Amino acid sequence: MPRSVSIHALDPNTPVIVGVGQSSERLTDDDYRGLCESDLASRAVEAALADTGVVAPAVAAEIDTVVAVRTFEQSTPMSSSPLGRPDNMPRAVAKRIGMDPEHAVLGVTGGQSPQSLLTEFAGEIVAGRRSAAMIFGAEVMSTVRHLMSTTTERDRPDFTEQVGGQLEDRGFAIAGLTTHQEAKHGLLSPVAQYAVLENARRHRVGLPRGRYTETMGELFAPMSEVAAANPHAAAPTVRSASELATVSEANRVVADPFTRFMVARDQVNQAAATLVMSVRVARQLGIDPSQWVFLHGHADTRERPLMQRPDLSRGPAAAAAVQHALAVAQIGLDDVAHLDIYSCFPIAVSNVIDPLGIDADDPRGLTLTGGLPFFGGPGNNYSMHAIAEAVDRCRGERDSFALVAANGGILSKTSVGIYSTRPTAWSPDDSSGVQEVLDAAPRVQTSDYADGPATIEGFTVMPGRDGSRTGIVIGRLDSGRRFIATVATDDESMFELLATDDPVGADIYVRSSAKGNRVFTDRASMLRHHPPVAPTFRSSYEHVEVRRDGHLLEVTINRPEARNALHPAANAELDEIFDAYFADADLWVAILTGAGDKAFSAGNDLAQTTGAGLEIPGNGFAGLTSRRSMPKPVIAAVNGFALGGGCEIAMACHIVVADERATFGLPEVRVGLAALAGGLVRLPAAVGGALARDMILTGRRLDAAEALAAGLISRIAPPGEVMDLARTVAAEVLAASPTSVRESLRAMDTAAAIPDEIEAIEATSAAMDSLLVSQDTIEGITAFVAKRPPRWTGR
């Protein structure tokens, strides 16, 4: 039975929704004014105050907390506000209403925010920490785009506003929503990400391409009917299932399988607000209890990052949130009369209704507003409109239940609320038990650099206006590791495969590079696009100098104007050079240094590196830091600064010698980065945990003497003589058996991976098998007995 109590027996701190409001304007409206976010939001707040049925100033005076849903213009570190914005959005709106609340909050990014914030502050009210909270959000993306495209900079309005005052800005909270793998391969936009998941679902349900497209149209067509009757809808036009599914000039494919009419419409001017307060305050203000709406059930769940999910076609956290919210409300799904399922893309809806057994043509309908493609998707604030509609439905149909399911990210965060005018006590449930179960599911391991046979798990092709195509694939290697890859623009065979009825599950071949992974229909196709090239040295390089001297190779990073910092082109050259070094049987030792006397390398050249340094060879920075096998010694001759990636390169080398003026450090934390090219692993091993943590967390630098004492380097040279010292060390190595040197390196690498000391020692004995059949071993023993210098062959 649904949980219910007498309205007279309610705890005075029980939270109740007493007012909701919406506002909007379209470019085509006769009274269109081009309002800024604060003005449009103020209209929604005023409507929510009026909805209480009490004089607005009296209600406003009791509101101690104002909470703004974060706008799209503030949703990521890279977003911007081309027309400006308030420095304190919550207080900018409060100021317009005449409120001076004690607390102002700016929520995090995500479409789950309206419901999540309402649940949170309802809990704050029942705990006695708040009395009344006005929660609102607004987007004027349509106005901004219109003004940016139709007016000159001189004629554009300035929405900048200096309000000041207390503000709890909670930041973006988008960690895990986008990975470096997705960024590197261009899988960043929600339409592309959801399209990949949608195609994975199409494969799972086993429908042909055409029929699946029809089902998406059938799912969304009824929503357009609801939108057509909603005065706040951005696109109030009834569209048939066939119209939604049919490609036309007005309904182009934006990302296979989505047409334009099937995706969230974000170019809107819409705002909504909800006022929640304690029963005590509501009674004091004289708000009619018939206006009160209670939050009977609530739940908040999180899905793991897209690339780690066991099944790309499913996001179980969403249905789990709905089921838990129903359990908290002590009702069943059949008890719910009104539904609003977040509908940014078809799979966002089917991901909820499929596991719950809700039909696409459920007579209750799946939206209260008209859905995001038709009503509109006002950034993170859509579900505030759904809540406003849910409250109105519950008031119009006493004791009925309404369910709002809000989605954030890429099926990443779900917040659910269940509403009714039926009085109820507050449930403090926090969904932690449900989340524990979700978190216990297995995680898929990923591969940044994928090579070899694979199968397709999900994909999309995005056509450009100029006739170009962008193909993105998520696949699995035979090892089970998941990867992202792109399709070469001229690879017709791969695009033909992706255009077949069901390419998911098809065998493909993947090849990695510094620019990212690339997929092909098979290995033969990969070889046609990338014929194998033996690792050899060029006659010259643009950013690196190379010198051979017998068995010695000297490599100099030649970018002194940038303190020998590395950009993608320099990294690519170094990777190629070291490939050639390790493949050349006549080269036994290499020295790496930097041009000039100022720097060995200052690390990553951020000024010339796009994608935040994502274009790194598979072998790592300088072709060394992630190289799995370095069978011949590399000596780092550090002639100045070795900072960030430069320090990591040095640590990747077998021997490090330094000019006495050299400096070592990992300053990444000072520019918002981290030493992810091996520094976080190698530095603690080299200098010990205490000093390493000091250096990594503060950016502290060591001079040459400190580095020697700490064990980071092995020798120090007088000023200007580090290359002489490096050559001396190289000569000492060359005086030894190259076969013994190589086997010693291999044995040390093997032993390093074995924690048990005795087992590690036993593992190194395998080197003797190679040495027993080596010409160098025989020569070494013979020369020793004959008391003459050995003549090494390297064999």
DSSP 670: G
Kindly give the pairing relationship between strand 15-24 and strand 589-594.
unpaired
Residues 85 and 161: beta-carbon distance below 8 Å: yes
Q: In what order do the strands lie in the sheet with 715-717?
A: 544-549, 552-557, 589-594, 634-638, 655-659, 715-717
Residue 512's nearest CA partner among 461, 575, 574 is: 575
How many other C-beta atoms lie within 10 A of the C-beta of residue 514? 18
Phi-psi region of 487 (alpha: psi -120 to 50; beta: other; left: phi over 0): beta
- Given a contact cutoff of 8 angstroms between Cβ atoms, the answer to whether 72 and 41 are in contact is no
Q: Which residues on neighbouring strands pair with residue 508, listed in sequence order?
A: 454
Bridging pattern class, strands 103-106 and 168-169: parallel
DSSP 441: S
Identify the CA nearest to 63 among candidates 321, 334, 276, 375.
276
Strand stretches in 212-341, DSSP E? 253-255, 258-259, 269-278, 294-302, 336-341
Longest pairwise C-alpha distance within the chain: 110
Catalytic residue, from 214, 668, 732, 779: name it: 668
Coil, strand, or helix at residue 743?
A: helix
- State both tokens at 190: 């929600």
CA terminus-to-terminus distance, the chain: 83
**Which residues in 587-654 belong to E strands, given as ranges?**
589-594, 599-601, 634-638, 641-643
The single residue of 62, 389, 648, 743 carrying the catalytic annotation is: 648
d(CA 341, CA 115): 12
Residues in Cβ contact with 736 at an 8 Å cutoff, skipping those fewer than 6 apart: none
* Chain center to CA of 644: 24
Q: How far apart are CA 352 and CA 314, in angstroms?
A: 9
Contact present, 185 and 611 (Cβ < 8 Å): no
As a whole number of angstroms, the distance between CA 666 and CA 661 comes to 17
Query: Looking at this protein, which amino acid is placed at residue 761?
Result: I
Q: How does DSSP assign 134-180, residue by residue?
A: EEEEEEEHHHHHHHHHHS-GGGS----B---S--EE-----TTTS-H
Q: How far apart are CA 578 and CA 537, in angstroms?
A: 9
Active site residue 668: yes
Alpha-carbon distance of 707 to 709, in angstroms, equals: 5
Burial profile 318-351: b = 16 or more Cβ within 10 angstroms, e = fewer: bbbbbbbbbebbbbeeebbebbbbbbbbbbbbbb
Examine the residue annotation and report whether 573 is marked as an active-site residue of this protein.
no
- What distance in Å separates the CA atoms of residue 573 and residue 326, rounded to the nearest whole number? 60
Catalytic residues: 648, 668
